[in-house]
Every structure is written in C-alpha cells, then in structure tokens.
Amino acid sequence: MNKILPQRFDANEWFLIVSLLCVVVIASLLPRRFPAIVTIVFLSLGFGISMCADFFFAPPPNDFYDVNDSKYYELFEIPFYYLYAPFAYLFVYFFDKWKIRGLLVTLYVLIWSAIGTGFEALAVYFHVFRYKTWRLEYSWVFYLAVQSIYLLLYHIIKKQYNETKREEGRDWP
Amino acid sequence: MAITLFLTISIILALFFFTTKRRLHLFEGIVLWAFFLNIHNNFIGFAGVDFHLIRISQRLPNFIAYCAIRNVIFPLFIILFLEAVVSLRRSWAKLACLVVAVHLLMGIVLLAERLNVLQHSAKWTAGWSYLSWTAALLLMYGIHQWIRRVLGKDVIV
C-alpha cells in the first residue's frame, strides 16, 4: 500500500492538485463552444495521447524519467494524466475561437509549445517529473509534434462532425 | 520475433479497421481508445509496477511489441467486440460474444507471454485473467453505452 500512496505529501502533490483545479476551473468558466461529444473527444485525446507517450518514455527499458516521488505507480499519477485533458481542450478551444489560419497556425503551435514546456519546467521544479536522461528541450520538440498532430485531428473531427450531424444537433461552424 | 509478429498484427488490424465499413462512429472509437488506455494504464501501474504481478520485458524490441499490443491491438480488438455487441439483439448472443472476446484477449496475452513480451508472477492465476478481462470489457461496454447516448444527441449514430 505504501507504494501507491505518496511517500510524502509535499510540493509535487500540491502542484498537481492546484494545477488541475486551475485548468479545470478555467476550462469550465469559458463559454461552451463545442457540442458535448466533441468536448469529450478532445478531452479523451488529451489524456489518451499523454498516457501513450508516458508509457513509452517513463518505464524501463527507456526509463527517461520518473513521475512523482518514486519509480512506482502512485495514486497521484492519475490526476497527472487528467491534467493534460483540459490543457488539450484549451489548446483547441482558442484555436477554434480565434479562427487561426495560414502562418498564424505555426505561431500558435510555437506559443502553445512554449506554454507546455514552461509548465513542464514548473512541474520539474516541483518534483512532479524527475528527469534521468530526459531533457526539457526534448519536451519542446515533443509538444511541437503532438500539438501539430492535435490540430490535424481537430480538422478531421470537425469535418466528421459536420458530415454526420443531426439537423437538430448543435452547430459547429 | 515478437516485435515482427505484433507489429504485423497491429498494422493488419489497423488496415482492416480503417478500410472496412464501421458500425461505430469515429468519435466513439477515439473515446473508447482513450478510456481503454486509461483502464489499462492503471491496471499495469498497480498490478505490474507496484505489485509485480505482471512484468513487461525490458528488452527494447519486446517492449515496443508490448506498446503495439497495448496501444493498437487491444483497443481495436475491443472496439470490434463492441461493434459486434451493438449488432446483436439477444442477451445470450451478447454474453457469448463477451466469453469469446475474453478468451481471444487472453490468447493474445498468452502469445505475448510465450514470446517473452511479458511475464506473469507465480502468484498470478488464470482466474485473475478471466476476472480482469471480463471486468475491463464490461466497463468498456458501460462507457460505450454512455458515449452512444451523448453522441446520439448531436450526431447520427
């Protein structure tokens, strides 16, 4: 049982709780923009992709970093993954709201990758991540790639929604 | 051997999945994939990493094979199972489908074990495999029912 619970309830646990609360509050205070199912899809992609990546990078044989206090899987790794969901939602929310097109798409991805890397640097400071061979600059490249894929998925999801939407369904122009 | 076999199965399964007519909406597929990873991540995290009941190979090729199983083979297989369940009307047929799916999933795990992709500890019994896969499939079925209800409000299912 002591492997599941945090070794000490300190900075990393508080950082996760406060960050999760902040992003969830921000995301829920924003006016509703997407149909309910689309919101669920974007949130699911957020934690699905993070789990996929983390499973590849964190455990041996790669073992690039540990999450939280130990090499074990702690209870606080569950909110850690859910943190990515509202983050991903906010990313597509503003992309859709500001109708970003052309060269601005690149700028938008660069800015959000910087936000993501900055947030991860904070997480490292609060010992959420304990890097072994991983470096923050790898995260930067990772965010660039994932957010670009995420925008591609955004277009596919939007096209699919409008193709299969019911007449009385919520509009998503 | 393991990496070749499981990557081949993953690619063939993905090709089949994306080139044939689907009964499930793309959104259902995405949500089910993510929720399955969520369930599996917690299962492997607690049962494998913390309690050492399951040990995943630390050889990179075998570990990649396991990633293919976990990220592609299991989720696509479960989505195909849910598609089959959706198309069946009678409860006994759905139950039979569940029993077949549990055995097929256990077969994939057994094959992975034979090829040293993963190992169960001596404490692990076949009963736990039955229990965990049945629970996972029932949970996925429940999630699917919920998604379908939400989806049906805005989209033609």
Across the interface, of B38, B50, B70, the residue whose CB is closest to A47 is B38
Question: What's the rounded mean pLDDT across residues B18-45?
Answer: 94
Cβ-Cβ contacts under 8 Å, B43 against chain A: none
**Which single residue is written with the structure tokens 């019994």?**
B125
The model carries a pTM of: 0.94
Best of A51, A160, A170 to substitute, by most chain B Cβ atoms within 10 angstroms, is: A51
- Please indicate, yes or no, if residue B36 is contained in any of the structural domains: yes
Closest partner residue to A61 (CB to CB) among B27, B30, B58 is B58
Look at residue A120 in the predicted model and tell me its pLDDT.
96
Residue A6: cis peptide before it, omega within 30 degrees of 0: no
Q: What mean pLDDT is reported for chain A?
A: 93
pLDDT tens, position by position, A22-34: 999 999 999 999 9
Q: State which residue of chain A sits closest to B34, comparing Cα positions.
A: A48
The whole-angstrom separation of Cα A165 and Cα A160 is 8
Give domain status of residue B103, yes or no: yes
CB-nearest partner of A44 from B30, B58, B60 = B30
Give chain B's contact residues with A (Cβ, < 8 Å).
Answer: 25-27, 30-31, 33-35, 37-38, 41-42, 44-46, 48-51, 56, 58-60, 63, 67, 70-71, 147, 150-151, 153-156
SS3 labels along chain A: CCCCCCCCCCHHHHHHHHHHHHHHHHHHHCCCCCCHHHHHHHHHHHHHHHHHHHHHHCCCCCCCEEECCCCCCCCCHHHHHHCHHHHHHHHHHHHHHCCCCCHHHHHHHHHHHHHHHHHHHHHHHCCCEEECCCCHHHHHHHHHHHHHHHHHHHHHHHHHHHHHECCCCCCCC
User: How many domains in chain B?
Assistant: 1
- Mean pLDDT score across all residues of chain B: 95
Output the pLDDT for position A43.
97
What is residue A9's predicted lDDT score, i.e. its pLDDT?
86
Predicted pLDDT at B1: 87
ipTM given for this complex = 0.93
The per-residue pLDDT for range B89-135, each reduced to its tens digit, is 999 999 999 999 999 999 999 999 999 999 999 999 999 999 999 99
| B157, part of any domain | no
From B39's Cα to the closest Cα of chain A, the distance in A is 11
For residue A61, give the nearest of B25, B42, B60 by CB distance. Answer: B60
Inter-chain CB proximity B150 and A45 less than 8 Å? no
A173 close to B (CB below 8 A): no
Q: Which amino acid, residue B82?
A: L
Residue to test with chain B: of A164, A168, A171, most B Cβ within 10 A: A164
Flag whether pLDDT at A3 surpasses 90.
no
B3-27: per-residue pLDDT in tens? Answer: 999 999 999 999 999 899 888 999 9
Confidence at residue A160, expressed as pLDDT on a 0 to 100 scale:
96
pLDDT confidence tier of residue A139, bands split at 50, 70 and 90: very high
* Residue B118 belongs to a domain: yes
Closest residue of chain B to A1, computed from CA coordinates: B50
Q: Residue A119 has what pLDDT?
A: 95
Question: Which pLDDT belongs to residue B36?
Answer: 97
Q: Which residue in A3, A55, A67, A77 has the most chain B C-beta atoms within 10 A of its own C-beta, making it the best mutation to test that interface?
A: A55
CB B129 within 8 A of CB B101: no
Inter-chain touch B46–A4, beta carbons under 8 Å:
yes
For the ranges A41-55, A62-76, B10-24, which has the lowest average pLDDT?
A: A62-76
Q: Which two tokens stand for residue B64?
A: 């990649």
Mean pLDDT of the B59-70 span: 97
Question: E strands, chain B, where?
Answer: 54-56, 118-120
* B133: in domain: yes
Looking at residue A1, what is its pLDDT? 58
What does the alpha-carbon distance between residue B50 and residue B44 come to, in Å, rounded to a whole number?
9
pLDDT at A36 over 70: yes
Residue of A nearest to B150 (CA): A37
Residue B124 lies in a domain: yes
Domain containing B100: what range?
2-17+26-152
Judged by DSSP in three states, B133 sits in helix
Tell if the CB–CB gap between A38 and B56 is shorter than 8 Å.
Answer: no
